[in-house]
Amino acid sequence: MTPTADQRRSRPTIRDVAALSGASLKTVSRVVNGEPGVSDDLAERVRAAIAQLGYRHNLSASNLRRSNGKTASIGLLVGNIANPFSAAVHRAVEDVARRHGVAVLAGSLDEDHERERELVAAFSLRRVDGLIVMPAIGDQSYLADERRAGTAMVFVDRPPTFFDADTVLADNREGAATATAHLADHGHRRIAYLGDLQLISTAAERFQGYTDIVIRRGLDEHPDLVVHDLHDVDLAESATHALMQLADPPTALFCSQNLVTIGAIRSLRRLGLNRETALVGFDDFPLADLLEPAVTVVAQFPAEIGRIAAEELFRRLGGDTTPTRRHIVPTALIERGSGEIAPLG
Amino acid sequence: MTPTADQRRSRPTIRDVAALSGASLKTVSRVVNGEPGVSDDLAERVRAAIAQLGYRHNLSASNLRRSNGKTASIGLLVGNIANPFSAAVHRAVEDVARRHGVAVLAGSLDEDHERERELVAAFSLRRVDGLIVMPAIGDQSYLADERRAGTAMVFVDRPPTFFDADTVLADNREGAATATAHLADHGHRRIAYLGDLQLISTAAERFQGYTDIVIRRGLDEHPDLVVHDLHDVDLAESATHALMQLADPPTALFCSQNLVTIGAIRSLRRLGLNRETALVGFDDFPLADLLEPAVTVVAQFPAEIGRIAAEELFRRLGGDTTPTRRHIVPTALIERGSGEIAPLG
DNA sequence: CTGAAAGCGCTTACAG
DNA sequence: CTGAAAGCGCTTACAG
């Protein structure tokens, strides 16, 4: 006896289903794809064979011949999958993709341009229909080939460099201005800026927003009050420590990013200054309301950013060829206490 | 003039590369796959053509004919991609997969068994080589077909039900016992248990660990001290509130899960009891050290769990057919303050 | 309503 | 070292 499909370890194919049900390949294909024009009787026999064999359609093989060639999968490139902002974007993208029957491949860039190119290549090899990219520092002109091949693309959180594509951004400059103005409104004139790598566009935008208010309100300007390139908690903590040792220390801090905010809080705690130094952070974080004082932040809405980006991508995949768009998602100031501390004296 | 490959919008194929370089399909295939036996000269011409055309290998087509049939992609199913525990597992899996040149498809289950089946089907359709699953409540016997078809599988965080497969778990029972014993060591006899859905195996294990110590140490046993089925922050908060209104309230709380811990803390804060009620949480969380009091926890190591699971999966994909294994990853008590509060009086 | 032949982009199994 | 033919699992484009 020759082995039948379900005795072998390999997967049953459409051929096995055809043999068992006594239908042709094409008829099985029709049933599997829900195409009309198969008698109820035959369709039922085919379905029974599918169930009996545990047949599972091969999407890749199907796509190879199919004219539209969609793989029903998209790629998502974020800073770091384990980071709450990226994770919230990811979840929102997943939810939209799911409604479209599309699977999501995801990868972390760790601010590494080489890694970005590798991941794009890896996803391209797998013929993703589209890409949602939170780009690393570096330019995106290399994506031209990819787009020419028909891959849809949307950028999130940061705009692409030397490349034009749909982009969904938080209102970084405005949000930072709001944070800084809020501190000024509470009487602060020496407001420090603690920011991430200057090469990151969001950091640059947030610094602009801070500067806008410093100039407009005539606040104290001093090079010591501005610290850039704080990319992790430890750097932020020591920078804050140094800042508070100045002869004339700031009375308020604007922290342009999550990890910076946490580093600054650690430092203020250690110095016992957390109840007298005002602080506003850019980007909300879990438990910000349970710290003492609770932390005032400019919240971004990563889930909203992810959702819009995914919808934009599917609009493009649906054939929309209108000019490139840029969505700006507003931020919101959440007053919790740390930003409402008045300057001493 | 007929359009050439790079003028059309579609992707160039191996055929276009062959035509441009003057080599045969097979030779181009050899170069693309790094197979030996191509003269330097020809290989160089092929590479030049690839670069000029922006040719990108089609992994699906390649796999269709290839004997091993590997898609170099795996699927990861977690509770919720946006949850820190799941996200940490995901990142660890990504890092291992990356070293193997494998891409990761990920999806969230939201404790929904139907969703689990849908995602497995969606990933199966895409012929993932393996699956790493943090299963939802419900049984996993439906995976038998999938495994017969050759898909490797590893379970994380929770064991599969009615299905045997490699599994990587935290030491839930032991960790919960350690937490409870720690509270007893600090003089507590009325220790409440606040837990997640009893149907979740980790919750059941943790309750066992709590019970082990209650019995061994002869601690107070009262039905009011045990609250199950707290699946979110709000439920945990109100359950804690009710607990503290008892005629004889607990002097210490063991919170068997992250969100429960946070809900309990919110409640204690609101009641002004956070500095006099001892609390140990299962599973660490960001900023636990910055709360007041800082939160003592039994830490799990999700990155470690994810890494071991991924390595296990690749071991199986590499052909290992030894019997199913179960890895237990130890937990660690981190004393930060909340767990070291002595009972009043 | 049903199916036989050709072909998607690639690799296998050969032959030179 | 190099390549022509057949075939992977499916769909397209036809024909009945």
pLDDT tens, position by position, A279-312: 999 999 999 999 999 999 999 999 999 999 999 9
State the pLDDT confidence band at A3, using cuts at 50, 70 and 90.
very low
Residue window 235-274, chain A: list those with CB within 8 Å of chain B. 262, 265-266, 269
pLDDT for residue B39 is more than 80: yes
B127 → closest Cβ in A58, A107, A121:
A58
**A96-110, B140-154, B156-170: range with lowest mean pLDDT:** B140-154
Considering only residues 167 to 226 of chain B, which have any Cβ-Cβ distance to chain A shorter than 8 Å?
A: none
First-last CA distance in chain B: 96
B206-223: average pLDDT: 97
The Cα of A227 is separated from the nearest Cα of chain B by a number of Å equal to 24
Lowest model confidence (mean pLDDT) among A9-13, A109-113, A261-265, B160-164: A9-13
pLDDT value at residue B42: 84
pLDDT in tens, B249-270: 999 999 999 999 999 999 999 9
pLDDT at B7 over 70: no
> At residue B303, does pLDDT exceed 50?
yes
> How many residues would you count in chain A?
345
Confidence of residue A69 (pLDDT cuts 50, 70, 90): confident
Nearest to A202 by CA among A173, A174, A229: A173
- Say what the pLDDT of residue A136 is: 96
Residue from A6, A9, A11 to probe the interface with B (highest B Cβ count within 10 Å): A11
Spatial separation of the C-alpha atoms in residues A341 and A265, rounded to whole Å: 14
- Per-residue pLDDT tens for A331-342? 999 999 999 999
If phi > 0 it is left, if psi is from -120 to 50 it is alpha, else beta; for residue A284 that is beta
Cβ contacts of A262 on chain B, cutoff 8 Å: 287, 290
Q: Are the C-beta atoms of residues A14 and A29 closer than 8 Å to each other?
A: yes
User: Does residue A121 belong to the interface with chain B, where contact is any CB pair within 8 Å?
Assistant: yes
**Dihedral angle sign, alpha carbons of residues B28, B31, B37, B40:** positive
**Which one of A29-33, A207-211, B15-19 scores highest in mean pLDDT?**
A207-211
What pLDDT score was predicted for residue B69? 75
Mutate to test the interface with A, among B60, B91, B237, B289 (most CBs of A within 10 A): B60
Nearest-Cα distance to chain B for A345, in Å, is: 28
Q: Answer whether any strand C atom is within 7 A of the Cβ of A33.
A: no
Residues of A in contact with B108 (CB under 8 A): 91, 94
Quickly state the pLDDT bin for B345 (edges 50, 70, 90): low
Specify the DSSP element, H or E, that contains B118. helix B113-125
Least confident stretch, A226-235, A305-314, A336-345: A336-345
Return positions of chain D under 7 A from a protein CB.
Answer: 1-13
The distance of A269 to chain B (nearest Cα, Å) reads 9
User: Which of B125, B128, B259, B279 is most worth mutating to test chain A (most A CB atoms within 10 A of its CB)?
Assistant: B125
Residues 10-29 of B with CB under 7 A from strand C: 10-11, 13-15, 25-26, 29
Chain A closest CA to B213's CA: distance in Å? 31
CA-to-CA distance for B258 and B203, rounded, in angstroms? 12
- A94·B73 Cβ contact <8 A: no
Interatomic separation, CA of residue A319 and C1' of nucleotide D11, rounded (Å) = 22
Q: Greater confidence, A51 or B108?
A: B108
Runs of H (alpha helix) within A149-247: 172-185, 201-216, 233-244
* pLDDT computed for residue A70 by the predictor: 85
Q: How far: A88 CA to D7 C1' (Å)? A: 45
Answer yes or no: is pLDDT of A4 > 50: no
DSSP A289: G
The larger pLDDT score, comparing residue A249 to residue B68, is at: A249
- B182-211: average pLDDT: 97
A250 Cβ contact list (under 8 Å, min separation 6): A188, A190, A191, A192, A225, A243, A244, A277
3-state helix, strand, coil in chain A (%, to 5): 45, 15, 40
Q: Which residues pair with B281 in a beta bridge?
A: B255, B297
Portion of chain B with pLDDT greater than 70, in percent? 97
Q: Which residue in chain A is spatially nearest to B270 when comparing CA positions? A: A290
Higher pLDDT, B6 or B313: B313
Contact A59 B84 (CB under 8 A): no
pLDDT for res A240 = 98
Query: How close does chain B come to A229, measured CA to CA in Å?
Result: 23
pLDDT value for A229: 97
A340, β-bridge pairs: none
8 Å CB contact between A171 and A329 = yes
Please judge whether B64 and A61 are an interchain contact, meaning their C-beta atoms are less than 8 angstroms apart.
yes
Tell me what the pLDDT averaged over chain A comes to. Answer: 93
Dihedral over Cα of B75, B79, B83, B89: its sign? negative
Using the predicted structure, report yes or no on whether residue B67 has a pLDDT greater than 80: no
Residues of B in contact with A10 (CB under 8 A): 149-150
C-alpha A177/C-alpha A211 separation (Å) is: 8
B94 → closest Cβ in A73, A81, A91: A81
What confidence tier does B9 reach under pLDDT thresholds 50, 70, 90?
Answer: low
Q: Which residue in chain A has the smallest CA separation from B71?
A: A126
pLDDT at residue B170 is higher than 70: yes
pLDDT tens sequence across B226-239: 999 999 999 999 99
CA distance A158 to A328: 11
- Residue B81, pLDDT > 60, answer yes
How confident is residue B24, by pLDDT bands cut at 50, 70 and 90?
confident
Between residue 235 and residue 254 of chain B, the positions with Cβ below 7 Å from nucleic chain C are none
**If you search the block for the tokens 């895409």, which residue do you land on?**
B126
> What is the pLDDT, as a whole number, of residue A210?
98
End-to-end Cα separation, chain A, in angstroms: 96
Mean pLDDT score, A194-216: 97
Q: What is the mean pLDDT of residues A97-115?
A: 96
pLDDT band at A9; cut points 50, 70, 90: low
Q: Are B339 and B180 in contact (CB under 8 A)?
A: no
Mutate to test the interface with A, among B11, B16, B233 (most CBs of A within 10 A): B11
Q: Cβ neighbours of residue A7 under 8 Å, at least 6 residues apart?
A: none
Window A:83-112, CB contacts with B under 8 Å: 83-84, 87-88, 90-91, 94, 98, 101, 103-108
Residue B4 has pLDDT above 90, yes or no: no
Length of chain B (residues) = 345
